[in-house]
Structure 1
Amino acid sequence: MERHTISILVDNEPGVLARVIGLFSGRGYNIESLTVAEVDRDATLSRVTIVTSGTPMIIEQIKAQLGRLVPVHRVHDLTLEGPFVERETALVKVAGTGEKRVEALRLADVFKARVVDATITSFVFEITGQGEELDRFIGLMAELGLVGVSRTGVVAMSRGPGGI
């Protein structure tokens, strides 16, 4: 099983996301991460970024089937096409007082997480980075009073002047 990040340029219209997801669910493919946002208002285009895993044959099937969907303009397997940048953002709520509160702030500083909300008994941190880095931060916060996590999912783009 290989992990792949696939970037899909689609028409920004109702039902497109349902068709893309339907392709995955109908064939039993797993989606590990899914993000969607409009990227060109004038051309009414959105970028769908999907992280999935499978054998090389399954990944090829996924790309071929995505390419045949009517609202899809381009499908890029960023994992195979060369270097790319991949990031994710998380909001992490931690409750605690005393030493645990101080330790949470210290770890947030080490991970370059930003405090976006604070009360006398809790913090909400914002952290951006690669998924593994977020996993480490969340794991450490679990020992200090983790209350909840909200993650954006992966956003990715090829490096250099070409591609999407």
Structure 2
Amino acid sequence: MAPLKIKKGTSRHSAYDLRDPHSEVVERHTLAVVVDNEAGVLARVIGLFSGRGYNIESLTVAEIDHLGHRSRITVVTTGTPAIIEQIKAQLGRIVPVHEVHDLTVEGASVERELALFKVAGTGERRVEALRLADIFRANVVDSTLESFVFEITGTPEKVDAFADLMRPLGLVEVARTGVAALGRGES
């Protein structure tokens, strides 16, 4: 019987986390943290990151249970596997935290981000901006004779790609919501 050729690393199709915890490879992880919706909780969670020098790439917060007074904080962060495990353990020790989920390793998940782009231009640049917006399925939410405001929803990579294409066409300003993510399936 031939040996299994299992590549080291996280596999969303495997029940086993095969990552080397001592690896120095920096990974990007999406963490979902369910907390009590009360004053100061966000500051305590963010204080954990800033106090230890951890980077936050994206942060979104919203109430998810009005009657239970609970909110969900979605944090996208980077670090080595050991750092990510340390972040999860430290988040779990904060008193108003109820659940900590690492959506990156728990299985398939859906990530979306909303962004607004203001693009200024006339003539051919204006036509090209509209053509690209159509390809990316971005909506025009405001228009003047000199500019457009586009609304786009998608993965962070899609939003980044749209921004890269709009820069030479007159990108003036960008507003992004940050990543909202949920695990796929029933659990």
Length-normalised TM-score, structure 2: 0.86
- What residue in structure 2 maps to residue 132 of structure 1? 157
Whole-angstrom CA distance in 2 between matches of 1:64 and 1:135: 31
Does residue 1:152 correspond to 2:141, yes or no?
Answer: no
Runs of 4+ in 1 over 4 A off after TM superposition: none
Does residue 1:6 correspond to 2:31, yes or no?
Answer: yes
- What residue in structure 2 maps to residue 80 of structure 1? 105
- What residue in structure 1 maps to residue 144 of structure 2? 119
- What residue in structure 2 maps to residue 94 of structure 1? 119
- What residue in structure 2 maps to residue 60 of structure 1? 85
- Letter of the structure 2 residue corresponding to residue 82 of structure 1: G
Whole-angstrom CA distance in 1 between matches of 2:69 and 2:144: 41
Q: Shift of residue 132 of structure 1?
A: 1.0
Whole-angstrom CA distance in 1 between matches of 2:49 and 2:131: 41
Q: Shift of residue 99 of structure 1?
A: 0.8
Query: Once the two structures are aligned, what percentage of the paired residues are identical?
Result: 72
- Letter of the structure 2 residue corresponding to residue 40 of structure 1: D
Structure possessing the higher relative contact order (Cα contacts under 8 Å, 6 or more residues apart): 1
- Letter of the structure 2 residue corresponding to residue 126 of structure 1: E
- What residue in structure 1 maps to residue 42 of structure 2? 17
Aligned CA RMSD, in angstroms, stands at 0.5
